[in-house]
């Protein structure tokens, strides 16, 4: 019997890499995507669209997903989210609706449909301002933003869910980085590489001291593969786990220097007078190392930078004003709204659907 896997949010930044990995490791699986297509057009090259690897693509808002989409599904990989702090701040109400309430509802429907494995893409940002020792799963969380609050609220809803037959894995991912067919440049390492290529200068807006754990999107996909197959005997029915590697905790200045070393002619500029950035945390990934020894991150910082460098050199969309482009997800949403295609709750309008006919 072939496994049937539903991937929500498959048309974002992480989704295409996850789908490609799952297709490689589960060649006979039925892979079904579910996405509202907010960022479908944000492809960085003329390569064939990532969705060609799916068995089926369903277009829909995660808030509207019904039980019929979960019939016969063995595993849900839940990536759908308003995916960073600036978007969460600008769209706080829909962030709560999509990231938390729709996620909790999805898990309830999945349990009722007999889904065996539910994988939730959470975030290490739930630790917020965390001085001192690297944060473990048992440590207190201090979410500072709407995005981080939505992630921990969903984790708690999943822990409280009455679903004795569904294994739930909340992957608290480090900060994502690396090349993807739908690249985001509103992520620290990706931004630095794009800046180095377009202007030759990496401007660090903070004083460079904040800590950021990183994980390449390829290694996020490996972690999701592990979580899909995780047995409740290995970590419990519900598990929240920091997902990354101890040696990939970096200070922002280190990241800038690494990019400057890799990109010929690039220099760095650090704002030593900047006020402290509260979003600073180191994370302990020891539990993930112990539980998933065969799915540890394999992409080094140098490898991630190199793939970004080569991918952006070949990109058809990279320009010097990339921070005012669709590579920044907030810009995409605002552009859709200005054109009347989206309403303030981040729903497609009737006018946009009519225009597309």
Tokens encoding 292: 């998933």
- Torsion angle, alpha carbons of 249, 180, 13, 33, to 10: -130
Burial of 90 (0-12, 13-18, 19+ CB in 10 A): middle
Contacts of 163 (CB under 8 A, 6+ apart): 107, 108, 110, 111, 118, 237
pLDDT at 111: 97
What beta strand segments (E) does 71-208 contain?
75-78, 117-123, 130-135, 167-173, 175-177, 201-204
pLDDT at 276: 64
Contacts of 95 (CB under 8 A, 6+ apart): 82, 87, 88, 146, 147, 150
pLDDT at 265: 92
Contacts of 221 (CB under 8 A, 6+ apart): 14, 17, 18, 20, 21, 22
Q: CA separation (Å) from 18 to 63, 139, 242, 286, 330?
A: 22, 29, 18, 23, 22
Per the DSSP assignment, residues forming a β-bridge with 55 are none
Query: What b/e sequence results for 242-276 when a residue is b if at least 16 CB atoms lie within 10 Å of its CB, and e otherwise?
Result: bbbbeebbbbbbebbbbbbebbeebebebeeeeee
- DSSP character for 294? G
pTM: 0.94
Q: CA separation (Å) from 222 to 123, 131, 195?
A: 16, 29, 28
Tokens encoding 238: 């519900």
For the chain, 357 residues long, give each residue's pLDDT as a single digit of tens. 589 999 999 999 999 999 999 999 999 999 999 999 999 999 988 888 999 999 999 999 999 999 999 999 999 999 999 988 888 888 999 999 999 999 999 999 999 999 999 999 999 999 987 777 899 999 999 888 999 999 999 999 999 999 999 999 999 999 999 999 999 999 999 999 999 999 999 989 888 888 999 999 999 999 999 999 999 999 999 999 999 999 999 999 999 999 999 999 999 988 777 776 667 789 999 999 999 999 999 999 999 999 999 999 988 778 888 888 888 999 999 999 999 999 999 999 975 444 443
The C-alpha atoms of residue 256 and residue 263 are separated, in whole angstroms, by: 11
Tokens encoding 270: 């650090």
């Amino acid at each position: 019997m072939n496994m049937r896997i539903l991937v929500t949010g498959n048309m974002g930044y992480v989704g295409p890499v996850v789908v490609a990995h799952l297709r490689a490791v589960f060649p006979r699986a039925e892979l079904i995507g579910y996405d509202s297509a907010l960022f479908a057009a944000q492809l960085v090259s003329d390569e064939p669209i990532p969705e060609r690897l799916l068995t089926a693509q369903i277009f829909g808002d995660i808030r509207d997903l019904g039980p019929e989409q979960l019939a016969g599904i063995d595993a849900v990989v839940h990536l759908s989210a308003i995916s960073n702090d600036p978007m969460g701040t600008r769209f706080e109400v829909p962030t709560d609706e999509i990231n938390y309430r729709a996620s909790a509802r999805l898990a309830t429907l999945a349990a009722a449909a007999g889904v065996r494995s539910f994988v939730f893409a959470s975030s290490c940002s739930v630790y917020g301002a965390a001085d001192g020792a690297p944060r473990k799963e048992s440590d207190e969380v201090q979410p500072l933003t709407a995005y981080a609050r939505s992630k921990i609220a969903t984790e708690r809803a999943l822990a409280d869910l009455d679903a004795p037959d569904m294994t739930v894995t909340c992957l608290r991912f480090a900060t994502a980085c690396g090349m993807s067919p739908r690249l985001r440049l509103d992520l620290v390492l990706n931004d630095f590489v794009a800046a180095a290529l377009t202007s030759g200068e990496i401007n660090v807006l903070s004083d460079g001291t904040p800590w950021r754990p990183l994980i390449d999107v390829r290694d996020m996909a490996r972690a999701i593969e592990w979580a899909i197959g995780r047995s409740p005997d290995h970590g419990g029915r519900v598990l929240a786990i920091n997902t990354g590697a101890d040696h990939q905790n970096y200070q922002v200045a280190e990241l800038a220097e690494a990019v400057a070393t890799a990109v010929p002619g690039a220099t760095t500029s650090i704002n030593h007078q900047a006020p402290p950035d509260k979003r600073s945390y180191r994370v302990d990934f020891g539990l993930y190392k112990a539980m998933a020894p065969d799915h540890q991150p394999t992409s080094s910082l140098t490898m991630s930078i190199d793939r970004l460098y080569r991918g952006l050199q070949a990109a058809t969309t990279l320009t010097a004003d990339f921070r005012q482009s669709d590579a920044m997800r907030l810009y995409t949403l605002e552009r859709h709204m200005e054109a009347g295609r989206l309403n303030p709750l981040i729903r497609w309008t009737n006018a946009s659907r009519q225009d597309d006919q």
